[in-house]
Amino acid sequence: MQITLVQGLLIALLVFICAIDKHMEAFMWFRPLVVAFFTGIILGDVRLGMQAGAVAELSYLGLLTVGGTVPPDPLFAGLMTTVLAYTTGCDVNTALGLAVPFALIGQWINTGTNTFYAGFLPKVDKCAAAGDEKGIAKVMYTGWILYAAMFALAAFLSTYALQSGISAFVAAFPEWLVHGFEVAGGLMPAVGLALLLVVMLKKENAAYLLAGFVIMVITNCQNILPIAVIAGCIAYVNFTRDMETAKLTAASAATAAQEGDFEDGI
């Protein structure tokens, strides 16, 4: 399948908007699940977009910016997983593996633009010393636009301008290499979830993880929605229990304080 000029421009506009949101982290539109969904709408294959977004989101779920490290870009991961699956006809797992270099391109753009921003700091300092709020806002908005424009340009080149070369390059891969990308792409969601668990998993919550895994295996469920509903019910029960415990603790503390006042009075 070929991407038309109009589709390429719409994808560039989508990436421009999502890149601004990525800089602000306001609506989380830059996440692979969202980017892939809207890319699927633009390409006319929403189902493919949702499938690609799901595997890409799981794969990049646990990648966090820690200190000075910059992880591969989730925006480009979701975008190119969808685009590669659409243009080359491969499955989403293979496309996910093929999209890793493009995620690294997004990483380099992010690092390069942030380094370039250092040149704006003296201007910001001058505006701050003069109390020029509009000047600071102008510099800030200029940086946002340049940042988003770089992402949009890279997206347009990757999805439309260079699509023939990319498709021919992928088509030249031997079957064993394509299968390797498929296997690697299939493992990436598990790795992403494992990275997330390293940050979030506590011994108090390990039983819930084990219970969810056992339910999925026993029922052979192909949809995680029932597990999500069960998890929501458990979360609600725990929330109400914690609220009641907090009320009882507060009441006990108030009673103890009143008893202390009576003893002081006696």
* Alpha-carbon torsion angle 31, 34, 35, 41, nearest 10: 170
Q: How confident is the model at residue 261 (pLDDT cuts 50, 70, 90)?
A: low
Alpha helix locations (H) across the chain?
A: 5-24, 32-43, 46-59, 74-88, 92-98, 100-117, 121-130, 133-156, 163-171, 175-200, 206-219, 225-265
Does residue 122 carry a pLDDT above 60?
yes
Q: How confident is the model at residue 36 (pLDDT cuts 50, 70, 90)?
A: very high
As a whole number of angstroms, the distance between CA 189 and CA 191 comes to 5
CB 16 within 8 A of CB 144: no
| pLDDT for residue 153 | 95
Domain ranges of the chain: 5-200, 203-266
Amino acid 24 reads M
Q: What is the pLDDT of residues 220-232, one digit of tens each?
A: 777 777 888 888 8
| pLDDT for residue 80 | 93
Distances in whole angstroms, Cα of residue 30 to Cα of each of 47, 101, 121, 183, 231: 19, 18, 26, 26, 26
- Average pLDDT estimate for 26-39: 91
Q: Dig out the tokens for 89 from the structure.
A: 């006809």
DSSP for 158-208, written as a single string: IIIITHHHHHHHHHTS-HHHHHHHHHHHHHHHHHHHHHHHHHH--TTTHHH
Q: Dig out the tokens for 112 from the structure.
A: 């390069």
- Average pLDDT estimate for 59-65: 74
| pLDDT for residue 68 | 63
228 burial type by CB count under 10 A (0-12 exposed, 13-18 middle, 19+ buried)? exposed
CB 37 within 8 A of CB 29: no
| pLDDT for residue 65 | 65
Does residue 260 carry a pLDDT above 70?
no
As a whole number of angstroms, the distance between CA 15 and CA 17 comes to 5
- Average pLDDT estimate for 179-196: 75
State pTM to two decimals: 0.76
Q: Dig out the tokens for 163 from the structure.
A: 């699509």
